[in-house]
Structure 1
Amino acid sequence: MTRKKSLDLALYCYSLFATRYSVECSFIRDKRSPWLAAHRPVHSFSMTAMEDPVAKLGLPSPLILGSGSFTRKLILKEMGIDFQVIKRPIDEKSLGDRTSSPEDLVLTLAKAKMDHLVNEIVAGRCDDELPKRNGTDSVSEWIVLTGDQVVVCDGSILEKPESVQEAKDFVGHYALMPPSTVGSCVIKHIPSGIQVEGVDTATIYFKQTLNGDELVDRLLAKDAPILDCAGGLMVEHPSVREYLDKIDGTEDSVLGLSKRLVLKLLDELSAKLRS
């Protein structure tokens, strides 16, 4: 990814965050750098006061999130979960069977991410990134979360579009054939090795007025990172929301991490650790 593309994606993600929390953004181009952005919040925002579900269950906190996904981080923040991001990428294209069920695929990928990250943590190669607890760097006990998501339309698994035309082809089908998101979540306890996992799905119904070519052009004109999204699907973008009819499922599931599934798995993990 080029530096320009990375910065454009960062600016888009911040604008999404600001929109979600009613914070006004004023992006400007600085003379020293054409891609340096500044923002001016016009009102402060605060998360709803709540107890961290992880700590409430007596599980080690903060949780380790093995993902750099902006929306997954945002969802965990909304849940009141304290977390630290540690990313160890894997070659996803070389793993999984794209002809198998999407549920099997996303679980395979999330578990592969988990195995790789846990191996790195246990081997001591993440010590500098692990959060401190009570002034120490103890790595004796952690909770790690990984996930994956694909979009399915008309029986086909759609990954990130490789071109603008492919994105238009994807989006153009959505008015006639509602796409579904299939997302996995895997949570593991270190050092016991106890692991829980699950899958959540949601289906998005678009209005018949949706025109794939026009919508993708509008998104690109607004620097939306549509080529970085599975299936070119960006239901969180205002231009896309105009064409939404309904969602069968939850929006957080569509965005990449089901809150309901996370809470269910945390409960399961806590019960297994107590047994």
Structure 2
Amino acid sequence: MNASENGSKFDDRAVRALAAPRHWLMSSLLLLPASYATLAWAWNSVSLYWTLAVSSASRWVGIPIEMADVDRQGAWLAPPELQLQWTAQYPGNELLLVTALVSITAFSASFIRKERWLPVAYLVRVLAAVQLGVCGYFFASPSNFPYTAQEHLRAIFLMQTMIVKDIPLAMSLIYYPLDFTLMQKGAATLLITVYFIAILPFVLTLHASILFHASLLFVPLCFFLLGAPLMLGLFLTLYSYCASWPGVIRQISRF
């Protein structure tokens, strides 16, 4: 195999070589503290952005939501406090009936020519079954649902802030071992962190809009469609994009 063929093999974006241990360990030692120092330095600005963005987005969709700075007694990277001036309604019988019929229809449709739209058919089936189960719960015990809108939104907000704070650590474990330059690793970490900071107020407002204008009936669906699975999918998409960047061809070493 000649040199040009060798080069094309390593330039394939679907193939990523692992860096020598000294390279990715040095990347972690340099970039991980720098990432958290930058995040700590910018945290007040991040909190201010979240407060203003949530206030603006909530006014646009007609939902009273506010964020306020609270004394966290020196807690590191403490997010602002989410404040709601409303409670989500319990679903009426008409909404329960319509939602149950839609869930049954979607569940049944997932078996029709499913080979043509796998694995989406499995996802539709699972979501329809979950929503149908929630409808059954409200039919049987309409006033004993264990979650409120406030609890759900605060859990989503806490989850998103934890993701933002965990991105540098996650990147040091799964991205820094790849054979990229120090600048590429820093840029990838910055890109993903800034993206999740930017979308947090709008994802939160979307959850609030569904619960405010609909009812608590859709809390589980919000979590499964717009909660942790969505955040994981977005992270993996951005990670895949960053992993497709042209890397550095180095002589692979054991040390």
Task: Name the structure with the higher strand share.
Answer: 1
**TM-score in terms of structure 2 length:** 0.25
Task: Name the structure with the higher helix share.
Answer: 2
Larger Rg, first or second structure (1 or 2): 2
